[in-house]
């Protein structure tokens, strides 16, 4: 502690050693509010006397400025220190819903602040170095101040500061070797790029430089409250930049934050919240005892009911409630609602749901706190499921309830993973979702698009379950199943080992068995030894059915992408094939179509393009984050074509088509129409179980009561919508001649 004369109070905000010759402590402050266009004037002697009779004090009234028209009777029982500027005040009220206050400043202690027109500031025990824009309401705040080195949640350092104070998010791993540094316009794709490609040191260096360039290193920026914001009944607010139309009520502590908000996408913070070192996206909502430290929230995301979020990035349109998320990178459309679930040291690629009791966290079985889990999109661990790190999962993996004692590497998409504790055997059922729950697949795809309430859709998000990534995974799964069918047949003595025992030859043999639907396959005990870290093999269930289901998924999903692209661009099959050939041979198209595809924050893109971007960053052809974002946008602009052409290539692979044996569109269309019809039927059948299952009906006194609670299958809006969609696809594809 130190003691200084009162006439220095509110001044010397920026130490002299951080001021250039042409700058004083007010230079940046004045620049921040140039857009206000105020006409400040000094107080007259009679006005000063009048203010003092109303209980106001100041160490120097010469440094208190006002703007006309102003009713000074609206300023009462307040003290002013340093340079204070007050905009126009008139005898009017401003309100937010039922909360109404007269304009004015009352019972407040104000140090070196700028207050724009028509604000209501009541009972602020300490307000220091803040700029309050037009028509804001501040009520009952214990402390609200800004330091001269404020960074507002950005991972930067100010002049004279050491690296130790730079904010970082230690995502994906607890050992901090994947740490990233946040900035206000950061996208989930940026976090994925930065946290994933750690083997490129020059990339890491450049990304840190790009982040540093997003913020002025000079000291002296003031905290800011955007127009039409309400902040009430809060305890401590320090180094926070509020956007416009923010609503904050009852927060315990807000420190070193940027809260992005405007009239189109207002953000809200509620009771008991404590947030430190973070950036909140547009339209975010944080309520009821949430604790978050070193974090970033994507647009339209929610933290509720005591959730804990530390060193993590939570993507757009996600909700975390009650539970704990640490050291994780979570992509858009993630749901986690249960107090007894947690997620630690993981990369969850979105469209995911964590059930109650799910134990997805490093247990340090790697001799250090550096275990990781990576799950591609559509990850659903069931109630009370526990996994041992390290683990990786293909897209749309469903894990049933159980304690999984060994590390897992599951390459089979849309599968159901279960553990038979009695026999101590891991089971994997390929293509489970297509075989048994198409309702969930289709409804989730619709739901994600329908619930994307972002006003500013900067992060590109693919919501279709058949896309570049899953097309590749399904083709790989067909090969994987073929290989293990052949191996199992040889192991059980049903086939003699071929002279050429290569993987390619075994895949060919297994594929022949599966394509012919040989009865031998159903008799096989198909086992894989590369899914679980165990001497026991993993049992692959219903391999024949799964193999056929994958083929149906490819035909349905790929044809859907092709038809939608052809309709959008008024193409025939002939012209589409020519366009596909031309695109696949072009410099950009050949890279965009090259596998493997990666999920970059929700945007599916060829890793070849990502590596091209990395090369451009390292060699100076891309020089800041804005240019990186422009590259993402460029990829997205051609995504529809890339997806359609990739789908065409997948169909050619599936049907073994080439220049000499072109794809027979009539046959493919006929199969597609059959699949659309069957898809609508299966969606209805899946949902129908909820209406007719005996035990589900047992809680109702009568059929009428059940219908009043559940409704009727005939009235289910999604069933109706999916039937209409399948009919539309059939109509569209039927309009094309081959």
Residue ending a domain, choose from 145, 161, 183: 145
Residue 104 lies in a domain: yes
User: pLDDT band at residue 368, thresholds of 50, 70 and 90?
Assistant: confident
Q: Report the distance separating Cα 121 and Cα 136, nearest Å.
A: 8
Three-state SS at 632: helix
Q: How many CB atoms lie within 10 A of CB 640?
A: 14
User: Which residue among 101, 117, 145 closes a domain?
Assistant: 145
The mean pLDDT of 520-526, rounded to a whole number, is 90
What's the average model confidence in pLDDT over 245-249? Answer: 98
pLDDT digits (tens, 9 = 90+) for 460-514: 999 999 999 999 999 999 999 999 999 999 999 888 899 888 999 999 999 999 9
In the sheet with 538-540, reading across from the earlier edge strand, the strands are 380-381, 398-399, 416-420, 425-429, 538-540, 527-528
Higher-scoring residue by pLDDT: 365, 595: 595
Q: Is 453 helix (H, G, I), strand (E, B) or coil?
A: coil
Of the candidates 401, 362, 410, 361, which has an alpha carbon nearest to the alpha carbon of residue 381?
A: 401
Q: Does the pLDDT of residue 250 top 90, yes or no?
A: yes
Provide the strand spans (E) within 155-289. 223-225, 230-242, 247-249, 253-259, 268-269, 274-280, 285-286
- Given pLDDT bands bounded at 50, 70 and 90, which one contains residue 737? low
Is a pLDDT exceeding 90 seen at residue 341?
no
Q: Would you state the pLDDT for residue 367?
A: 66
| Residue range 654-673, pLDDT digits in tens | 999 988 889 999 999 999 99
pLDDT, position 557: 97
Distance of alpha carbon 735 from alpha carbon 738, whole angstroms: 10
Average pLDDT over residues 265-291: 97
Cβ partners under 8 Å of residue 601, min gap 6: 187, 188, 189, 190, 191, 192, 315, 331, 332, 459
Q: From 278, 325, 310, 311, select the one nearest 297 (Cα to Cα).
A: 278
In terms of DSSP bridges, do strands 425-429 and 416-420 run parallel, antiparallel, or are they unpaired? Answer: antiparallel
All residues at 6 or more sequence positions from 206 whose CB lies less than 8 Å from its CB, including other chains: 617, 618
Q: Hey, which residues does 231 pair with through a beta bridge?
A: 138, 248
Question: What pLDDT does 459 receive?
Answer: 97
Here the tokens at position 500 are 């050429």
Burial letters 371-395, b for 16+ CB under 10 A, else e: bbbbbbbbbbbbeebbbbbbbbbbb
In 3D space, the residue among 316, 374, 378, 308 whose CA is nearest the CA of residue 340 turns out to be: 308
- Average pLDDT of the chain, as a whole number: 94
Rg (CA), the chain: 31
Six-digit token pair at 202? 């020059």
Contacts of 13 (CB under 8 A, 6+ apart): 25, 82, 112, 129, 148, 220
Cβ neighbors of 265 (< 8 A, separation 6 or more) are 282, 283, 299, 300, 454, 455, 456
- Give the per-residue pLDDT at 5: 83
Q: Is 234 domain-assigned?
A: no
State the residue for tokens 């000094």: 42
DSSP E strand boundaries for 450-565: 527-528, 538-540
pLDDT at 738: 56
- Would 268 be classed as within a structural domain? no
Looking at residue 180, what is its pLDDT? 98
Average pLDDT for 78-101: 96
Residue 518 has pLDDT above 90, yes or no: no
Q: What is the DSSP letter of 221?
A: P
* DSSP, res 695: H
Residue 680 lies in a domain: yes
Cβ atoms of residues 541 and 454 within 8 Å: no
**Residue-level pLDDT at 660:** 85
Asked if pLDDT for residue 720 goes beyond 80, the answer is: yes
Q: How far apart are CA 466 and CA 604, in angstroms?
A: 11
Cα–Cα distance for residue pair 101/91, rounded to 1 Å: 11
Structure token pair of residue 335: 């749901």
pLDDT band at 280 (very low <50, low <70, confident <90, very high): very high
pLDDT tens per residue across span 23-53: 899 999 999 999 999 999 999 999 999 999 9
Q: Integer distance in angstroms from the first to the last C-alpha of the chain? A: 85
At 142, list the tokens. 């214990």
pLDDT at 237: 98
Helices vs strands, H then E, count in the chain: 19, 44
8 A C-beta contact, residue 462 and residue 332: no
pLDDT at 366 over 80: no
3-class secondary structure, 83: coil
What is the structure's pLDDT at 339?
Answer: 80
For residue 407, tell me if it sits in a domain. Answer: no
Summarize the confidence of residues 516-526 as an average pLDDT.
Answer: 89
pLDDT tens figures, 554-594: 999 999 999 999 999 999 999 999 999 999 999 999 999 99
The helix/strand/coil state of 379 is coil
737 in a structural domain: yes
Residues 6+ apart with CB under 8 A from 651: 554, 555, 558, 559, 562, 657, 663, 668
The pTM of the full predicted model, rounded to 2 decimals, is 0.94
DSSP letter assigned to residue 6:
G
Only one residue has tokens 């509720």, namely: 304
Q: What is the largest CA-CA distance in the chain?
A: 108
CA separation for the pair 337, 393 (Å, rounded): 22
Q: Provide the domain count of the chain.
A: 2
Range of 44's domain? 1-145
Q: Which of residues 95, 114, 145 is at a domain's end?
A: 145
Query: 378: which residues sit within 8 A by CB, 6+ positions away?
Result: 351, 352, 395, 396, 397, 414, 444, 465
Confidence of residue 690 (pLDDT cuts 50, 70, 90): confident
User: What pLDDT sits at residue 365?
Assistant: 62
Would the pLDDT of 363 be above 80?
no
Residue 570, phi-psi category: left (phi > 0), alpha (psi -120 to 50), beta (remainder): left
> Using one digit for the tens of pLDDT, what is the confidence trace for 100-114?
999 999 999 999 999
Task: Tell me the sheet residues that pair with 539.
Answer: 427, 527
Q: Which of 627, 615, 618 is nearest to 205 (CA)?
A: 618
- The answer to whether residues 247 and 273 touch, using CB atoms and an 8 Å cutoff, is no
Residue 425 has pLDDT above 70, yes or no: yes
Measure the CA angle with vertex 490, ends 550 and 512; round to 5°: 40
Q: Has residue 81 been placed in a domain?
A: yes
Whether 140 maps to a domain, the answer reads yes
Q: Return the pLDDT at 113.
A: 98
């Amino acid at each position: 502690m130190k003691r200084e004369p009162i006439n220095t109070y509110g001044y010397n905000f920026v130490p002299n050693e951080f001021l250039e010759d042409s700058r004083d402590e007010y230079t940046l402050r004045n620049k921040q509010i140039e857009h206000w266009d105020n006409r400040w004037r000094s107080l007259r002697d009679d006005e000063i006397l009048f203010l003092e009779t109303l209980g106001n004090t100041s160490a120097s009234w010469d440094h208190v400025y006002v703007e006309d028209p102003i009713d000074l009777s609206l300023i009462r029982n307040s003290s002013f220190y340093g340079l204070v500027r007050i905009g126009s005040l008139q005898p009017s009220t401003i309100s937010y819903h039922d909360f109404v206050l007269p304009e004015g400043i009352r019972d407040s202690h104000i140090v070196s602040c700028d207050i724009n027109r028509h604000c209501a500031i009541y009972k602020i025990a300490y307000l220091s170095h803040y700029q309050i824009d037009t028509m804001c309401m501040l009520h009952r705040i214990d402390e609200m101040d800004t330091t001269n080195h404020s960074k507002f949640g950005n991972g930067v350092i100010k002049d004279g500061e050491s690296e130790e104070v730079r904010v970082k998010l230690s995502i994906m791993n607890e050992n901090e070797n994947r740490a990233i540094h946040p900035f206000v316009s950061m996208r989930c794709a940026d976090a994925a790029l930065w946290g994933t490609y750690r083997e490129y040191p020059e990339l890491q260096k450049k990304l840190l430089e790009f982040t540093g360039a997003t913020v002025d290193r000079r000291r002296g920026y003031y905290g800011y409250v955007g127009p039409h914001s309400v902040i009430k009944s809060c305890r401590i607010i320090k180094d926070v930049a509020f956007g416009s139309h923010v609503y904050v009520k009852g927060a315990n502590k807000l420190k070193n934050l940027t809260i992005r908000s405007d009239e189109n996408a207002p953000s809200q913070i509620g009771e008991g919240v404590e947030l430190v070192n973070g950036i909140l996206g547009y339209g975010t909502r944080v309520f009821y005892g949430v604790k978050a430290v070193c974090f970033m929230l994507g647009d339209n995301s929610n933290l509720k009911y005591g959730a804990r979020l530390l060193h993590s990035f939570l993507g757009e349109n996600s909700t975390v409630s009650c539970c704990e998320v640490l050291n994780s990178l979570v992509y858009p459309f993630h749901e986690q609602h249960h107090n007894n679930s947690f997620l630690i040291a993981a990369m969850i690629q979105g469209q995911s749901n964590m059930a109650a009791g799910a134990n997805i966290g490093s247990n340090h079985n790697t001799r250090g706190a550096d275990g990781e889990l990576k799950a591609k999109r559509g990850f659903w661990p069931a109630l009370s499921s526990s996994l041992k790190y390290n683990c990786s999962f293909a897209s749309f993996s469903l894990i049933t309830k159980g304690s999984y004692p060994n590390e897992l590497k599951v390459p089979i998409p849309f599968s159901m993973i279960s553990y038979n504790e009695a026999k101590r055997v891991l089971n994997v059922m390929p293509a489970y979702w297509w075989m048994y729950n198409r309702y969930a697949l289709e409804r989730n795809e619709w739901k994600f698009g329908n619930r994307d309430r972002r006003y500013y859709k900067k992060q590109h998000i693919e919501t279709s379950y058949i896309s570049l990534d899953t097309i590749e995974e399904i083709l790989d799964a067909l090969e994987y199943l073929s290989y293990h069918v052949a191996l199992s047949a040889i192991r059980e003595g049903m086939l003699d080992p071929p002279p050429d025992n290569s993987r390619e030859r075994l895949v060919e043999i297994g594929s022949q068995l599966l394509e012919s639907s040989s009865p031998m396959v159903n008799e096989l005990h198909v086992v894989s030894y590369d899914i679980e870290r165990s001497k026991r093999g993993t049992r692959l269930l219903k391999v024949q059915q799964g193999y056929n289901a994958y083929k149906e998924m490819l035909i349905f999903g790929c044809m859907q992408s092709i038809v939608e692209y052809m309709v959008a661009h008024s193409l025939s099959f002939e012209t589409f094939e020519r366009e596909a050939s031309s695109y696949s041979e072009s410099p950009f198209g050949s890279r965009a179509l090259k596998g493997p595809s990666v999920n970059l924050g929700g945007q599916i893109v060829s890793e070849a393009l990502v590596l091209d971007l990395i090369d451009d960053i390292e060699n100076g052809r891309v020089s800041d984050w804005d240019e990186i974002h422009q590259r993402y946008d460029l990829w997205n602009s051609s995504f529809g074509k890339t997806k359609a052409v990739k789908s065409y290539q997948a169909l050619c692979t599936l049907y073994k088509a080439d220049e000499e044996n072109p794809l027979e569109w009539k046959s493919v269309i006929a199969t597609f129409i059959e699949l659309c019809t069957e898809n609508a039927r299966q969606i209805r059948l899946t949902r129908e179980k909820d209406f007719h299952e005996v035990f589900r009906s047992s809680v109702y006194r009568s059929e009428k009561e059940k219908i009043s609670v559940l409704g009727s299958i005939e009235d289910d809006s999604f069933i109706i919508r999916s039937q209409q969609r399948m009919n539309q696809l059939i109509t569209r594809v039927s309009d094309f001649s081959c």
